[in-house]
Every structure is written in C-alpha cells, then in structure tokens.
Amino acid sequence: MALDYRKCAEEIFAQLGGKENLVSAAHCATRLRLVVVDNSKVNTKALEEVEGVKGTFESNGQLQIIIGTGTVNKVYDEFLAITGLTAATKDEVKAAAAAQMPVWKRMLKTVGDVFVPILPAIVASGLMMGLVEALGKIDALNFASTDWYGFLDMVANTAFAYLPVIVAISAARVFGGNIFLGAVMGLLMIHSNLTNGWNAAQGYDVWYLFGHVEIGNYTLGQINQLGYQGHVIPVIISVWCMSNIEKWLHKKVPEMLDLFITPLVTVFTTALLTFMIIGPVFSTAETYILQFAQWLITVGFGIGSLAMGAIYPITVVMGLHHMYNVIEAGMLADTGLNIWMPVASAANFAQFGACLAVGIKTKSAKRKAVAIPSALSAALGITEPAIFGVNLRLMKPFVFGMIGGAIGAMFGAIAKIGATAYGVTGIPGYLTINHIAPYTIMLAIAGGIAFALTFFFWHEEVEIEEDETSDDKAPKKVEEKAVEAVETEAATVSIDELADVIACNKSLTVKAPVVGKAVPYTEIPDDAFSSGALGNGVGITPECEEVLAPFDGEIVSVVDSKHAVGIKSKDGVELLIHVGIDTVKMDGEGFTTFVKEGDKVKAGDKLIHFNRAAIKEAGYSDMVVVLVTNSFEYDEVKAL
C-alpha cells in the first residue's frame, strides 16, 4: 500500500511541539532535516511510530527524520504546505542549526570551519619545510649552500609567511563575506609598508590620524606601523567585522551604487577598526594564549602535557579538537615550531595501540574486520574510525588510550619535540618533527602502554543481539560474514569487473556500483544508514570516482545535490546509492549526474561522477552507501 504523504506529514508535524517550535526545514536524499527551538517539546517516541518514518536522531543541531529515498521529497512538499514554512536551502538550515548551538560551541565550530579547509596548504608547506631542513643538516651533501635549497626553502615557508592571507580568505568564506575583500584585509595586515611583525622588538613608527588627542593612556587614532605576521586571531576577528559590515551595506546601499560604495566603505571601515582596535587588542590576547599553551606544555616536568594528552581524545569525541588549530598555527607563525603536535600525536597513537589490541584479541570476525583497518588509520593520524567504531563503544580501550596518550605526551614535552606543521600526526609526523629518535620513543610509549593495558585488562563479552528476521525475535549470537574486498587500480571500469555485494533472496544479485572495499551497512559511520532504518546493504570505500548502474532498471530519484540516486530493478529491488556521508552539505560541488528521474538504464551505465579529493577537502567521508530500501519485502537481504 502506497504511503499517504499528506497524512505522514501531518502526523510528523503533530509531534514537533507546534509551529512556533519550528525554525526551518529542508531535506536530503533520505531524511527531513528540521531545526527546532526546543528539542524537549518534540515527542520522539511518537514520531518514530508515524507510518513512513523509519527513525529519528539529532545531529549538528538538526532533528533528522529518516523517511527514505524517493519518498522524503513528497513528504517534504506536504510538510511545507501544512506548516506554511518556505523551502529552506541546506545552507539556511545549517545556519539555523548553528544558531541553536551554545555560543561557545558555535565559536569553536567556526574555528574548525576556518582552519580545516586550509590544512592542505599547511601540511604541504610543513612537510616540505621538514624535508628541506633535514637535507640542509646533512653536511656531506652541502645542500644548504645550493640554489636548490634557497628555492625550496622559499616554496616551503610561503604558506606560513603569508598565513594571515590564507586565514582571511577562509574566514571570509565562513562568515559569508567577499573572499577577495577578505584577501585584501589579510594582505593589508602584512603590508610591506609596515614593520614586519617578527621584527617588532627593533622598534616601529606610529601614525596619529587625529593628532594627539589622549584618552587616559590611549591616543585616539593611534596606529602602530606594525604588521601582523605570526597572528591569526586578529585576522579572523577583522574578517568577521568586514563580512558583517559588507552584508549590512548590501542591504542599505541602493543597488545602482552598491558596486562602488560597499567595497570602498567596507575596506576603509574595517581597516580603521583593525589597526586601531582589533589588531592591538587581539594580538596581545593571542600572545597571552600562546604563552599559556607553551607554559602548559612545559610546566611541572610535562604535567600539563600529561593532562592534555589524556583530554585530547575526549575533545575529538566532542568535535572540539579543531580549536587547537589556532594555537598550532600561532606557534608556527611565531616561532616556526609547533610544540603542541606531540600532544596530539601521542593521543592519536595511543588510540591506535588500544584499537590494535582489540583487533588482535577479539574472537569476533566482524569486530576484527573493523578494528584492524581502524587501527592502521589511527596510526596515520585519522582516529575517528578507531575511536567511534571500536574504542569508545567498548569504553575500556578508550580509557586505556587516554592513559597511554597522557604518558606519551608528557615524554614528548620533556624531550622538547616539535613539528613544522599541524594536522599531521602519527607515522606521517616523521616528516615534520625535529627529533626523530625521541619521537619514535614517544610513539612507542603511547601506543605500547595503550596496547598492553587493553590486551591484558580488556575482556571481550559475548554479544547477544536480536534476530530481526525472525517472528519471535529470539536472541541469537550474531556472526556476519566479512564482505569481500574488491580492489583495482583502474580509474574507469566496466560492470563485469565489479564484484557482487548484495543478494536479495534469489531475486537479484546486486553488483558494486563502484570499485572499492565493502563493509556491512552496520559499519557505515552514519546513524541513519547503520541502524538499518533505510534498509540492508553495504558501504564501499571507493577507489575510483565513477558510480555505475549495478543492474538494469529505472531511475526513480536524483537528489538536487547530485550525490545520490535511487534505482529500481525490473524485479522490484529498490536501491539507494548515496556517495559520501553528509555530502548533502556540499550542494553538488564535486558531483556530476548523468541521469534524471524516469531514465531507463542498463547495468554499467554511468550514473554519477564524484571528486574524492573535493569530498575529503570538505571534511566528509567518501564512503559510497548502497542500500536495498525495500529490504522488508524480502526474506533475506545479505552482504556477499
């Protein structure tokens, strides 16, 4: 029986606490994304009983109601008609959700939004600086006196020498300002007419724009002719002011004059604010923050680092770890050495050790299949799979990782380890650190302690789960067959080269729509998918950038943001192919679709092309989700 979209929307609305509790609404390929004023007024239990609703959860300030591909858009249209809300863009919903967050959390999220996109530039420069410096220290090569050394040194330090410009551009994008005006503000703060910020101790001149009108110890209109090399906080605050001034002017200035007046007034006003107030105040505040961070790392024989090594993975869980980017970027710009990196590296490598111990000790093939790859990822500095997929779920390994990270970080502080970049930890950190041997010992301490504690003191419990396919819901021990990994180096493949990944009774065997390694749907890092609410299937870590039709059928849905399609086979199998996790927020950037709703396709026809680098640069997983959304119609849907 077809779902009554109107009734579904009405029943959803009835459980949301009234229209006054709704801020905005949008939808993606599978769910309604709502922002509400007060989540406590939402009757979540009743929501999940609504026919057509497959589950609910909260994420990033949004109430997400899982409905399913091809259906959610129809329910959404009815929902707008009932509530009187206007259709919101995903950016508007994202902004509304952010506005519901506490101020401190919004500020930390903003810091992450500014610094994460510029990581590639920082990492590239940091790695090159480390390599150039290492080669320069080898006397036998005499590399430091060559022209190559001079050229490579210039290339390597450019990102740090002009860091305020990079930060300003990124900040303008985050705050909704013109990125080119942002670039002007960043350049202005390191202008060659100003005394280089690193040479401030040698003295600098002062401009007095309004004469010598003194207010206490402050001279009105005093501008120190001093650049802001080595500072990032004043740049962010300055661009925030610039963006708000620009947006205000766009609303007030007549359209025919906007092109001339708005940028002129924006730059002039922001420049005055920056050099008279923002720069002096926040550069001083940033100096104190850096001094405190350096003191914390070195205080009491590394006690401060010990504490931070323990706390660091908790901040990862809370999504607050990007706040350290300000400290690390400031250190690099100020001294060229990031001494905060050993804290992060020790903490991350300890989570690797704990996860590896779980992978070796566990008797569960499913858990082993998750733990070993996650541990390897953590060793390379990407800890989220290890933390969220293994250690935090079992808790003891997570705590043991905190202990190992704390002791390793303390050793790193005592050994005076530092790096020439941020965002690079674990094994890749060897390319940026200043002392290789102590760094090796630090990793061995952090990972070794966490491994030993987990191996000897964590004891696996037999997991009992409900068999959701049985009528009496009798509990049974679950054993899942590991999904066969599909590996190829080819960028473009034919459907014949792809392995079977899903079987729907004897009705249809579904081929992988992309080349890559497959895992059961329960291991997809998204609650809506891993819960099974949208159906059984697999997640595939792609090794190419093409999505092919896995069988002959009809395209039943193509989302506006181009990252997902729904396809129905001649036998009635309804399949969702969803590229990436949370990639709806990219609004189609990096995606190209080759089909539209209603198209008939053959197995192997190209459906989507996606840019893996763009997805990762945006901070999202590129895992391709493949789910049989009408799994309930089959006695058995299983991964092969």
Q: Which residues are catalytic?
A: 28, 578
Dihedral of CA atoms 251, 257, 261, 262 in degrees, nearest 10, equals: 30
Measured from the Cβ of residue 351, the count of other Cβ atoms closer than 10 Å reads: 36
The DSSP 8-state label assigned to residue 419 in this structure reads B
Q: Per the structure block, which two tokens stand in for 593?
A: 């679709």
3-class secondary structure for 558-621? ECCCCCEEEEEECCCCEEEEEECCCHHHHCCCCEEECCCCCCEECCCCEEEEECHHHHHHCCCC
Distance, CA of 480 to CA of 131 (rounded, Å): 45
Distance, CA of 218 to CA of 232 (rounded, Å): 24
Q: Per the structure block, which two tokens stand in for 174?
A: 């985050």
Q: Per the structure block, which two tokens stand in for 203?
A: 């003295």
Q: Per the structure block, which two tokens stand in for 52?
A: 């057509």
Residues 6+ positions from 607 with CB-CB distance below 8 Å: 513, 547, 548, 549, 555, 565, 567, 577, 593, 594, 595, 601
Distance, CA of 141 to CA of 139 (rounded, Å): 5
Distance, CA of 381 to CA of 429 (rounded, Å): 8
Which backbone phi and psi does 418 adopt, to 5 degrees?
A: -145, 170
Q: Per the structure block, which two tokens stand in for 32?
A: 């309604």
Distance, CA of 572 to CA of 588 (rounded, Å): 29
Alpha-carbon dihedral sign for residues 33, 39, 45, 46: negative
Which backbone phi and psi does 69 adopt, to 5 degrees?
A: -70, 145
Secondary structure (3-state) at 373: helix
Are 123 and 166 within 8 A, CB to CB?
no
Written as one letter, the residue type at 590 is G
What is the residue whose two structure tokens read 């249809």?
Answer: 508
Degrees, nearest 5: CA angle 313-316-318: 115
Return left, alpha or beta for 28; rule: phi > 0 is left, psi -120 to 50 is alpha, else beta: beta
What is the residue whose two structure tokens read 């905190």?
Answer: 402
Distance, CA of 199 to CA of 273 (rounded, Å): 23
Query: Regarding beta strands 475-477 and 624-628, do their DSSP bridges make them parallel or antiparallel, or are they unpaired?
Result: unpaired
Distance, CA of 174 to CA of 379 (rounded, Å): 31
Dihedral of CA atoms 606, 611, 612, 618 in degrees, nearest 10, equals: -140
Are 400 and 407 within 8 A, CB to CB?
no
